[in-house]
Amino acid sequence: MPLTPLRRVNLAHDISAQLSQAIVAGDFPAGAVLSEPMLAKRLGVSRAPVREALIELETRGMVEFDERGRSRVPSLTHDDLVDILGIRIALEPRAASLAARRADPLAFVDLEHNLDAMRAAQTPTELARLDTAFHSAIVRASGSRRLHLCWNVVEHQVDLWLAQMQSRVDALCHQLRDTTVAAHAAMFETIRSGDTLRAEELARKHLTDWLDVLPGAPVV
Amino acid sequence: MPLTPLRRVNLAHDISAQLSQAIVAGDFPAGAVLSEPMLAKRLGVSRAPVREALIELETRGMVEFDERGRSRVPSLTHDDLVDILGIRIALEPRAASLAARRADPLAFVDLEHNLDAMRAAQTPTELARLDTAFHSAIVRASGSRRLHLCWNVVEHQVDLWLAQMQSRVDALCHQLRDTTVAAHAAMFETIRSGDTLRAEELARKHLTDWLDVLPGAPVV
DNA sequence: CACCGCGGTATTGTCGACAGTCGACCGCAG
DNA sequence: CTGCGGTCGACTGTCGACAATACCGCGGTG
């Protein structure tokens, strides 16, 4: 073993991750107030790390601060989803292009594992999680820390929207499963081949295709 | 007057703004450690709001946390600048397009004032500040809160880079002043006319032009 | 019955304090 | 002189406490 410890703990970071997960899991419905004492009590910690976690989540759009400083779970509308996808259409082609140029073997492993997992996935929830994870992996593969910071803003927004629109999700996911896997596989191959332009175009098309599935006004 | 004096104070927010300004002003050189007790002492507050401000600045890329939790001013290389501009090329055309569609009169006032101020500006520092402010105003004019969150990641990065590369800045700014004003004016007119496609294209071109001025490898 | 004032309650923003940890420095042995 | 251990100081992460404030329900009043 390389014997490589280790990371001084940071409760705020763990809390942030756990809260984020709880929110997309639907534990806190849209509009719910996340009071600091309540969270601190449930988590068995003091308010300080909870506050820090909430601040981080605010920059990721997972919670909103109202005029009184209380944090709430934002309630997403259809327009919000369109807005989110519009941003992803701006960011992800760039990420795919950079990833193709960078060609990091470790990132390729991640992407390949994700593809395998998605082919084996059963539940729509699992599929949605893996879909988001695949796109996250591409952003990480880009190697740009700042692009990743931007990506954080939209990373879990679609999951949050899915949690709040639980009705239609399952049918949609099932319907799209095979096309999604195919699109991801194509993106992976293209990125691995180093074709930056085509990677960019595939990423854009993958997202606009998804957008077309939704009813409502066009994005661009 | 709508008579709306409110907003319970939030030291963290003020500290964040002040620190951000101090960093781009060069008060803290690249790599400098921003220790919480030091900042708290200088600002006359306790460490709590300082910590929160630092967390916010971290998500904006204005400070970085090292493995021991200390916050440092990141030192930007040429590659970083290219990375930043690549992200802006992804984000800003989208913002311009949305702004053109939204056509918010209040935002137009902001943009126009900025143009006037830039035409009257004298010092390169002032020019750089107004340039960033103009692009910020377009992002705000897009009406997308999430796009603004993404924009926060890159908003002051160019200013920071300028602060760290102080040598060449002045010449560059002076050289580019008139073209910048002209480009901004064209963008403003296009956005006001509601031509989303052209607004998008102008925003992209304005940034890629700037990129071309710099030496080094291409972005795409 | 409708309306207003008022106290209780809950929550935020801020503060000071403490433990754990890490680097810097110094003295000492080899 | 060099390498080592011990000590000191500084900093971070976390905690509990306090003041200020806004909300909620209740009782009093016109």
Residue ranges of chain A assigned to CATH 1.20.120.530: 78-213
Asked if B36 and B68 count as a contact pair (C-beta separation under 8 A), the reply is no
Residue ranges of chain B assigned to CATH 1.10.10.10: 11-72
Closest C-alpha to A203, from A147, A153, A160: A147
Q: Which of residues 60-79 of A touch strand D (CB under 7 A)?
A: 68
What confidence tens digit (pLDDT) does each residue in B175-206 have?
678 888 899 999 999 988 888 899 899 999 99
- Listing from the earlier edge strand, what are the strands of the sheet with B33-34? B33-34, B71-72, B64-65
Of the pLDDT bands very low, low, confident and very high (cuts 50, 70, 90), residue A168 is low
User: Residue A166 pLDDT more than 80?
Assistant: no
CATH for the stretch A78-213 = 1.20.120.530
Q: Which pLDDT value is given to residue A51?
A: 97
Whether residue A90 and residue B86 make contact (CB cut-off 8 A), yes or no, is no
Whether residue B149 and residue A59 make contact (CB cut-off 8 A), yes or no, is yes
Q: Which pLDDT value is given to residue B167?
A: 57
Q: Distance (Å, rounded) from C-alpha A27 to C-alpha A160? A: 11
How many CB atoms within 10 Å of residue A27?
Answer: 12
Residue A45 is classified by DSSP as S
User: Residue A179 pLDDT more than 80?
Assistant: yes
Q: Which pLDDT value is given to residue A100?
A: 94
Q: Distance (Å, rounded) from C-alpha B80 to C-alpha A153? A: 20
Three-class secondary structure of residue B178 per DSSP: helix
Q: Which pLDDT value is given to residue B217?
A: 44
The arithmetic mean of pLDDT across residues A124-146, rounded, is 92
Q: Distance (Å, rounded) from C-alpha A173 to C-alpha A180? A: 9
B71 DSSP β-pair partners: B34, B65
Q: Tell me, in Å, how far CA of B74 is from C1' of C26?
A: 34
* B130: CB partners within 8 A, 6+ apart: B114, B117, B118, B121
Q: Work out how many CB contacts closer than 8 A connect A with B.
A: 94
User: Residue B6 pLDDT more than 90?
Assistant: no
Q: Which pLDDT value is given to residue B38?
A: 97
Q: Distance (Å, rounded) from C-alpha B78 to C-alpha B157? A: 12
- The larger pLDDT score, comparing residue A5 to residue B165, is at B165
User: Residue B18 pLDDT more than 50?
Assistant: yes
Footprint of strand C on the protein (CB under 7 A): A 8, 33-38, 47-48, 51, 65, 68-71; B 8-12, 45-49, 52, 68
Q: Which of A5-9, B28-32, B39-43 has the lowest mean pLDDT?
A: A5-9
Percent of chain A with pLDDT over 90: 67
Chain center to CA of A99: 17
What is A11-72's CATH number, 2.60.120.10, 3.40.190.10, 1.10.10.410, 1.10.10.10?
1.10.10.10
Pick from A89-103, A180-194, B183-197 the range whose average pLDDT is largest. A89-103
Nearest to B146 among A56, A68, A153 (CB): A153
The arithmetic mean of pLDDT across residues A114-123, rounded, is 90
User: Residue A108 pLDDT more than 80?
Assistant: yes
Three-class secondary structure of residue A115 per DSSP: helix
Nearest to A67 among B6, B61, B97 (CB): B6
What confidence tens digit (pLDDT) does each residue in B73-123 have?
999 998 999 999 999 999 999 999 999 999 999 999 999 999 999 999 888
What confidence tens digit (pLDDT) does each residue in B45-82 have?
999 999 999 999 999 999 999 989 999 999 999 899 99
Return the biggest CA–CA distance within chain B: 53
Nearest to A154 among B12, B55, B146 (CB): B146
Q: Tell me, in Å, how far CA of A54 is from C1' of C14?
A: 17
Closest C-alpha to B89, from B214, B209, B217: B209
Q: Tell me, in Å, how far CA of A69 is from C1' of D20?
A: 14
